[in-house]
Amino acid sequence: MNIIVFIKATIDRNAPLGPDETFPGDRDDKADVMTNNYDKHAIEAALQIVEKKGDGKVTAVCLGSDMADKVVKEAIAMGCHEAFRIENSEARVINFFSVAKILAAAIKKIGTYDLILFGMQSYDYGTATMAPMVSEFLDLPTASWVERISLNGDKINVEKVIEGGTRTIELQLPAVLSIASSGDFEEPRYTSVRRIMKASRTKVPVWEIDKLEAGALDTNVEFTKIEQPPARMEECVVFKDDDVPVLIDNLLSALKDKGLNLGAYK
């Protein structure tokens, strides 16, 4: 079982952030750069699968500047068998569509794989679109926000989060998954000081974007401003009647007044 896990270097949410510092490579202090925490759940999922299978390899891949080397080394310390970085200094490529093309090209370069895993989203932009886009480029089946995985020959059964619950589906391998921060992979493993020290001495292999045959890339993207979204104006209505039927009628009436379609309720 060969699994590729994509990890991302993000800026620590506790670090001060200015409008010109959206990319980890913009930071002067490497301490401000961290592994996107959601990606650690993907690493945990990959390691659990290989351990349960009894053989295989987990390869971690990161697109970023040399500031991201610490992220690659952390993946190795957690237990990934190999890891490398795709050089993207000075935020050469930040367009999400182009990033997906680069990651798909890296997968083709690796060649042998059964599963491709992502965290469910990133801490910075949080679009949760990278796994579906990569699966589209590779023409592979995909499932998002996966909590549990069970192997079934050349197929897998996955339990994924949906609104209001979960759903179990079967996918043909190879497949692309994004891993939820809940379920079987909720607690990424800690690593020992010895493994951390050993990983810190590891030389990170670097691949150049131009050698990945990713095709034409749109690099004409610029972030001009970062600002908080407008505050949401919510109105709280409290119903104090103790009679349940009356409470329900009052609630439905209030929803109807807001313009909601309540079907048969008049």
Whole-structure pTM over 0.85, yes or no?
Answer: no
**Domain spanning 2-211: which CATH class is it, in words?**
alpha beta
pLDDT for 39 beyond 90: yes
Highest-scoring range by mean pLDDT, 15-29, 103-117, 229-243: 103-117
Torsion, Cα of 151, 114, 168, 120 (10° steps): 130
Residue of 67, 77, 59, 80 whose CA lies nearest to 4 = 59
pLDDT for 145 beyond 70: yes
Rounded CA-CA distance 63/6 in Å is 8
pLDDT for 241 beyond 70: no
Range 218-233 average pLDDT: 72
Rounded CA-CA distance 15/156 in Å is 40
Q: Which amino acid, 119?
A: G
Beta-ladder partners of 5:
60, 117
Mean pLDDT over all residues of the chain?
85
Given this model, what pLDDT does residue 75 score? 94
Per DSSP, 120 falls in state S
Rounded CA-CA distance 149/52 in Å is 11
